[in-house]
């Protein structure tokens, strides 16, 4: 079932339930309208319905006062899905080990993790192959924030040199730095594998972005869905307990749509 079909089916059920609930509410209010002539009773019922925002007992859209148009935005997403298929295929190929071994992907990961606790690890992996031992020591062993490496047994021989060029050479520092690189890769790879599971704004999207037109369509659909959900939720203040609950089909459908949209992002 397409996203539009999911939404259309929910709206049809909601409209049916809305009509039933409105009829039940009108009958309930009519029983409460005591005294006065028929015109006065009808005025009471109409006034109560107006207060609840029930000016049209045929169209729940008017009750919710939807402003955005979700349906057409869902259509735009589905029209773009074909162009997104290749992106999804590429994202499925992503693994932590592949990202850390591919300089192009590593550069994107480095940018993504800037400002996060593992930032220094990505900086280290991105440039260690091109640094001499003395420079690498100063940048990644000597001082904050990269002295975190000093907690690892793998860097103990490097720390012992205190950055002295002669001692670094004698300790075969280049080989030690490559061992440290291997340690970092082994530690980070499974964490990146788990990080690929994120949707919008996540690592996979940063590494393999979707087509701009598709991402714009998904953003618009997400924004419309959020607006709809807020309008539905806010309407509870006007009518807390309709029977049947005509909100439920819409809320359930919006939940399904949100799950799909987050996955494709």
Segment 10-35, tens digit of pLDDT:
999 999 999 999 999 888 888 887 76
Quote the tokens at residue 69. 């148009």
Q: What is the pLDDT of residues 78-121, one digit of tens each?
A: 888 777 888 888 988 999 999 999 999 999 999 999 999 889 89
Q: Which pLDDT value is given to residue 117?
A: 87
- In whole numbers, what is the pLDDT of the chain averaged over residues? 88
Higher-pLDDT residue of 262, 73? 73
pLDDT at 6: 95
Query: What's the pLDDT band for 210 if we cut at 50, 70, 90?
Result: confident
Q: Is the pLDDT of residue 160 over 60?
A: yes
Residue 58 pLDDT: 78
Between 42 and 172, the more confident residue is 172
Mean pLDDT throughout 198-222?
85
pLDDT of residue 151: 65
pLDDT value, residue 133:
93
| Predicted TM-score (pTM) of this structure | 0.64
- Residues 250-258 have a mean pLDDT of 95
Q: What are phi and psi of 90, to 5 degrees?
A: -70, -40
Mean local confidence (pLDDT), 59-79: 86
pLDDT at 145 over 60: no
Lookup result for tokens 């949100």: 258
What average pLDDT does the segment 210-226 reach?
A: 87
């Amino acid at each position: 079932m397409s996203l539009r079909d999911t939404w259309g089916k929910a709206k049809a059920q909601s409209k049916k339930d809305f009509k039933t609930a409105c009829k039940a509410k009108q009958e309930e209010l009519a029983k409460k309208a005591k005294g006065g002539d028929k015109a006065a009773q009808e005025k009471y019922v109409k006034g109560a319905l107006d207060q609840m925002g029930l000016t049209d007992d045929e169209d729940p859209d008017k009750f919710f006062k939807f402003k955005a148009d979700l349906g057409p935005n869902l259509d735009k997403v589905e029209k773009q899905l074909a162009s997104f298929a290749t992106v999804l295929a590429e994202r499925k190929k992503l693994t932590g080990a592949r990202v850390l071994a591919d300089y192009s992907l590593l550069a994107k990961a480095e940018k993504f993790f800037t400002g996060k606790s593992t930032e220094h690890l990505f900086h280290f992996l991105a440039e260690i192959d091109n640094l001499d031992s003395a420079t690498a020591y100063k940048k990644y062993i000597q001082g904050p924030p990269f002295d975190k490496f000093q907690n690892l047994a793998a860097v103990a021989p490097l720390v012992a040199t205190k950055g002295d060029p002669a001692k670094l050479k004698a300790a075969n520092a280049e080989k030690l730095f490559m061992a440290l690189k291997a340690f970092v890769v082994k530690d980070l790879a499974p964490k990146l594998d788990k990080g690929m599971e994120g949707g919008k704004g996540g690592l996979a999207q940063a590494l393999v972005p979707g087509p701009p037109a598709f991402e714009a369509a998904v953003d618009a659909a997400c924004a419309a869905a959020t607006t709809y959900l807020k309008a539905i939720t806010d309407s509870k203040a006007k009518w807390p307990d309709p029977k049947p609950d005509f909100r439920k089909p819409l809320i359930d459908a919006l939940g399904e749509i949100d799950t799909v949209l987050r996955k494709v992002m």
